[in-house]
Amino acid sequence: MKLFELFGKRKKDVPPQKESMAGGEESLDMYSGMRVEVTTLDGRLLFVAKLMELHGDQAELHQYSESAISDVEEPLPVKIRGYSDRERKAVSLEGAITPLPQNKWAAAELKVCRIGNDRAFFRLTTNLDATATMFSGLAMGERPCKLLNISVGGASISSEHRYHEGDKFLLKVKLLEDRPESAMYSKVVRVIEKDGGAYEYGCRFLELTEADQEQITRNIFAAQRKKRGSAV
């Protein structure tokens, strides 16, 4: 939205600018291969996918989580949000999707509506028992912790043990009883000291393979759907 054009003063002195609230004119090719979450316009998570085959304002979404929708007959307006490694920012797009065979979706009328520093992925709030294992240094060994929330890119944990920014450990947690345990090599990027001698840590996942990311995504999505169902 070019709000400056609503005002007549000094219009000729204002050079054209590339705004973070984009109008979608620029090429979307740079976002090919981006892992994204797909939501309704009001923010309800539908599925997680990879954005592929970008041509102009059209693309394919290769779904690799379970889907919260079925029997879509007409184009469904959605928001598509992911993280651009190239721009190191969260990217939000809007468009309409229709189903294709083999867990794929055709996306059309795509346009970038926001580029910013907000969280790139859906975060599942939890309160699960977990462990953090360091393999070197004075803090070497496995210690219990609580998983507070988790996304495909990172997690927040609480612990009575003191870690420091830059510390790395293997975070292990079972998001669902009937799913395999998830293990993520993690780096502490934020430390918050809490009352009572406890600490809260923001962690970023490191060295995840595509298969690791897909497994974590599926587990998060399944846990989110189970949580939503139990709340009804």
Write the pLDDT tens digit of every residue in 75-96.
Answer: 999 999 887 766 667 788 999 9
What pTM, to 2 d.p., does this model score?
0.61
Instruction: Show Cβ contacts of residue 226 under 8 Å, excluding neighbours closer than 6 positions.
Output: 176
* pLDDT of 13 over the 50 cut: no
Q: Which two tokens stand for residue 6?
A: 């609503």
Identify the weakest region by mean pLDDT among 105-109, 130-134, 192-196, 206-210.
Answer: 206-210
Element (H, E) at 193: strand 182-193
Per-residue pLDDT tens digits for 177-186: 877 788 899 9
Q: Domains of the chain, with CATH numbers?
A: 20-116 (2.40.10.220), 124-231 (2.40.10.220)
Q: Are 31 and 83 in contact (CB under 8 A)?
A: no
Q: What 3-state class would DSSP assign to 172?
A: strand
CA atoms in the 13 A half-sphere facing the CB of 31: 30
pLDDT higher than threshold 60 for residue 120: no
Task: Classify residue 141 as left (phi > 0), alpha (psi -120 to 50) or beta.
Answer: left
The arithmetic mean of pLDDT across residues 47-54, rounded, is 86
Cβ atoms within 10 Å, residue 26: 11
